[in-house]
Amino acid sequence: MEGSNINNFALSFKNNRLSYCGQDCQKIPPALWNMYGAKVNYLDLSYNSIETLKGLEKFTRLEELILDNNKLADSVKFPYLPFLKTLSLNNNDITNLESLVSKLCEAFPELSYLSLLSNRACPNQLSDLDKDESDYQRYRYFVIYKLKKLRFLDSRRVSERERLEASTRGEFTRVRRPPSVTTQEPVTQVQPLTPLPLDLNALGKHKGAYGKCLYKYTGKHSEGNRFILNSDL
């Protein structure tokens, strides 16, 4: 879907929370920022085909941004959003962790909740079958070291022990990847992911993407409940 046309049946706006999911948009429809940009503090654009975030700067009050299951790659540019605290980028095409984190540091100074599951930049078995827990832990140290205010990364809270380790080891734990090879290998299909809200009580009154929320979804990619609670585990 291009241009300013939007599917009103797929759009949900209530209590300054805007959702527009499952419409195969390659970019943010201008109609969304023209009508809602100054009002929205929560924006969910999951299950589209978004490749560029042009227009996101119009959402000047944004605190929570959900971009799961899109086509954002290493070239993506993030506008400066001084109030953004929650960012979910699960299941996109991001491979360069160091570049991504540098952009996030500059664009979102208050970022405290981040999820990168099912991107190659996040080295665990969801994105790389040859990665293990030690690879993932080094990745966590590096991200925590760079994003000083981070409280929650992927499906786990940032512990004080991790923060201490990150302060001494984080600079030396950059995740290096070998150059791409031309040999094609079978692609393993991974179920689209969203952040797992573990230890919800410890998160205080935050009601963002990492907690339970009412979710209206109109689109062809519907998969039922997107959030898993502790009681379901």
Give pTM, 2 decimals: 0.74
Q: Which residues contact 30 (CB under 8 A, 6 or more apart)?
A: 3, 4, 55
Boundaries of every domain in the chain? 8-176+186-222
In whole angstroms, give the CA distance from residue 50 to residue 43.
14
Confidence of residue 206 (pLDDT cuts 50, 70, 90): very low
DSSP state letter for 33: H
pLDDT, residue 174, reads: 58
Three-state DSSP class for residue 15: coil
In whole angstroms, give the CA distance from residue 94 to residue 90.
9
Q: Which residues contact 16 (CB under 8 A, 6 or more apart)?
A: 39, 40, 41, 42, 61
Three-state DSSP class for residue 202: helix
Which helix (H) or strand (E) segment holds residue 66: the answer is strand 64-66
CATH of domain 8-176+186-222: 3.80.10.10
pLDDT, residue 124, reads: 73
Compute CA distances 170 → 139, 167, 175, whole Å: 9, 6, 11
* Mean pLDDT, residues 170-186 taken together: 50
Backbone angles phi, psi at 101, to 5 degrees: -65, -35
Under the phi-then-psi rule, with left for phi > 0, alpha for psi from -120 to 50, and beta for the rest, what region is 188? beta
Instruction: Give me the chain's average pLDDT, please.
Output: 80
* Mean pLDDT, residues 191-199 taken together: 50
Confidence of residue 170 (pLDDT cuts 50, 70, 90): low
In 3D, which of 4, 79, 66 has the Cα closest to residue 34?
A: 4
Asked whether residue 149 carries a pLDDT value surpassing 70, the answer given is yes
